[in-house]
Each structure stands twice: as structure tokens, then as C-alpha cells.
Amino acid sequence: MLKTLSQGHLSLLETCPRKFQHTYIDQLGSPIDPDLQERLRWGSQFHLLMQQREMGLPVAALPAEDGEFQLCIQALVDAAPELFEPNTAELRLSEQPCTLFLNGYLLTAVYDLLLIRPGRGQIIDWKTHLKPKTSAQLVQDWQTRLYLFLLVETTPLTPDQVSMSYWFVRCQVPETGAFAPQQVTIPYSLDQHRQTRAALQRLTDQLTHLLDQPQAFPQVEAAKGICRDCSFDYRCDRVAKRASLYFPPLSAVAEVPIKPIS
Ligand code: SF4
């Protein structure tokens, strides 16, 4: 029985309950695109190096083929020296897990870097996408909503005392190819905290209800266009519906007589 929910679970449950079922309950995997696989490997290696750096271990002794990581980390330190300056009034926690039991589920988060000072808490998240997301996208992202919610619920900090900063570390200057990390900071408020609590209550209630039913989880409406990029489209019988957007039914195509070659 599924009892632990991360931001990925919440996001998928909200996007399409059927996809959530296939992915997390039926555990139906699908092959990963090799480019995506490489980007995931890069991201995971970068996070390990940042954790190593935070522990005071050297990252300068990387093999030559990993020089890109060194350049990327150095560009980040140059762009945001205040993030890396020692501060005795600050508690720094790297790869810090955080959990909260709510409505029958264990909500979980892992903070890449958490900076706590008296009356202030800042979540830092390293993003290794090639393009940054906008502030509007990030405010709606379940990672932002869950991570800030958990920080407020598990510390004495109030919503207006916390924020979440995303650092898109892999952005480059198009002309030179030099790394130019970009930052987006999301503030938080009591109103957002209440909205997130209500959304969590709604989603966990929905999941409990769906898990109690013998039927398959509901599919997202085809009109939302989400099925186009879903690897379960054939299983969900959404391929034909998708194709019909582009091809008329055969009965609607006029017959073209074939003339015999004389
Ligand atoms: S094809 Fe559509 S309905 Fe089926 S799992 Fe994917 S997103 Fe959901």
C-alpha cells in the first residue's frame, strides 16, 4: 500500500490519476530516452558534487573529462558568493530529508541545501535543466508548494520567514558557451500555506478514495492534450483519438478511381 508521497507523486496524481496508477501502483516502466538519461546522470552527478563540496571534501581533483562540472560549480560560486560564505549564525544542511504525517500519508522532501538563520529559512534547489523555468511555473510546481509547506510545518518559522530559491546552474551564454547560472526566488505567505494545506487534503482524500475502489483510476480528459506525450497512450486507447485530430475517418475520404494503364 502506497503511504509515502513526494512532490513527484502529488504532481502526477493531480495531472492524471491513471498515469499515477500505472507508474506507482502497477509499476509499469517505460524505456527512457537516451538524451534524457544522460541529462539525469549529469544532474545526479552535479548534486553529489555539491554535497561533497558542502561536506568540505575537495572537488578540484575531478578527472579531466569532468571539467564541465568544475566550470559549472565555479560559475555558481562566482554568481552567488553569499551562498557559500561561512556564517556562524547559520545552520547549513545539505541533502536534508524532511517528512510530515498528514491525512494518512507521509509527505517527504529532500532539500538540496537548507540555510536556517534566526527568523529566516531558505531552501536552495539546484536545477540542471538547460533552460530555466519561469517564476509563474515554479509557484505552481508541487516541489515549491510541498517543500515550503513542510519547512513551515516542521520548524518554528512562519510562512513569511521562508523562501525557496532555484538555481539553474547549467544555463550558458549563447555567444561564448560560458556557464551563467540563473536564479528564481519564490517567497511564501500564510495565504499560500493555507491553499497548499487545502490542496494536500483534497489530493490525499482523493487518493484514499481511489485506493478503496476496485475500478481503475480515472483518466485525464483527452482535450487537455496531456496524453500526446504519455507513454501509456496506447494502453489508454488515446492513440486513435489523437490520430483522429490529424486524419479524417476513412469513410470521409472520397474514393479515387484507378485508371488502367493503356
Ligand atoms: S494516456 Fe492520458 S489518460 Fe492515459 S495515463 Fe497517459 S495521460 Fe493519463
Contact 115, 12 (CB under 8 A): no
User: Is pLDDT at 64 greater than 60 in this prediction?
Assistant: no
Positive or negative: CA dihedral 231, 232, 235, 236: negative
Ligand 1 atom 4, closest CA = 236
Q: How many CB atoms lie within 10 A of CB 261?
A: 4
Which H/E stretch holds residue 186? strand 182-187
Dist. CA 153–CA 160, nearest whole Å: 13
| Pocket mutation for ligand 1, best pick of 13, 15, 16 (most atoms within 8 Å of C-beta) | 16
Ligand 1 atom 7, closest CA = 227
What is the per-residue pLDDT across 223-248, written as a single tens digit (0 to 9) for each?
999 998 898 998 999 886 555 555 56
Nearest one of 214, 226, 196 to 100, comparing CA atoms:
196
Q: Say if ligand 1 is within 6 A of residue 203 CB.
A: no
DSSP 74-93: HHHHHH-HHHHS--TT-EEE
pLDDT value of residue 92: 93
197 contacts: CB under 8 Å, gap ≥ 6: 149
**Coil, strand, or helix at residue 127?**
strand
Contact 97, 4 (CB under 8 A): no
Q: How many residues does the chain have?
A: 262
Q: Say if ligand 1 is within 6 A of residue 145 CB.
A: no
What is the per-residue pLDDT across 1-19, written as a single tens digit (0 to 9) for each?
669 999 999 999 999 999 9
> What proportion of the chain, given as a percentage, has pLDDT over 70?
91
Q: Which fold has domain 33-203?
A: Lambda Exonuclease; Chain A (3.90.320)
pLDDT value of residue 245: 53
pLDDT value of residue 251: 74
Which range among 64-68, 119-123, 181-185, 239-243 shows the weakest confidence by mean pLDDT?
Answer: 239-243
For residue 227, with 0-12 CB atoms within 10 Å meaning exposed, 13-18 middle and 19 or more buried, which class applies? Answer: buried
What is the per-residue pLDDT across 195-220, written as a single tens digit (0 to 9) for each?
999 999 999 999 999 999 999 999 99
